[in-house]
Amino acid sequence: MTVKARLAFIAACFVIVFHSVPAAFRFTPPTDACALLTPEQVSAVLGVTAGPGQPVMPPSRLICGWAQASDKNHSGKRVVLSIYGQLGTRTPADRFATAKTPIQGTEKTPVSGVGDDAFYSTTPGLGTGLVFKKGDSAFDLHVYGFPVDEIKAKEKTLAAAILGKV
């Protein structure tokens, strides 16, 4: 085999391997919100002992909530995480783009350092949430039971923990 033929063979092998590796390690979007945070992570951020995450709308696991075990009414310090799933033909990225669209009465503030794109969404009477995306996945995270400035910091901390798993 000539040097030219060997180089062509090596180049062809490289192309085949290069194009097959992404398929072998393809990213699978998360589908279990309760698996993205531990009670210990939530407890550390809330400053109270949180119980295990519970699906908000079983059997779906796209929305999960964590609260103090003693808070049976879920009216105290708590966290709710939603994973944007596919909705008809709308991908999670499409849904994130829609959520980012300005709406009268809702303040949307860009956030840096969280995933590929993120913003705080504040609606009077409903609170403040951190909406963020990484790759093709998008999330909506709400912390309750604190002043708004503390909520934002706590949501950013929890988002970093979530992004470390996706």
C-alpha–C-alpha distance, residues 16 and 136, integer Å: 25
Domain spanning 28-163: which CATH class is it, in words? alpha beta
**Amino acid occupying residue 37:** L
Report the pLDDT value the prediction gives residue 27, as an integer from 0 to 100. Answer: 56
Domain ranges of the chain: 28-163
Q: What is the pTM of this model?
A: 0.81
- Residue-wise pLDDT for 12-23, tens only, equals 333 333 333 444
Do residues 122 and 106 touch, judged by C-beta distance below 8 A?
yes
> What pLDDT tens digit does each residue of the chain (166 aa) get?
553 433 333 333 333 333 334 444 445 789 999 999 999 999 999 999 999 999 999 999 999 999 987 777 767 899 999 999 999 999 999 999 999 999 999 999 999 999 999 999 999 988 999 999 999 999 999 999 999 999 999 999 999 999 999 8
Report the pLDDT value the prediction gives residue 50, as an integer from 0 to 100. Answer: 95
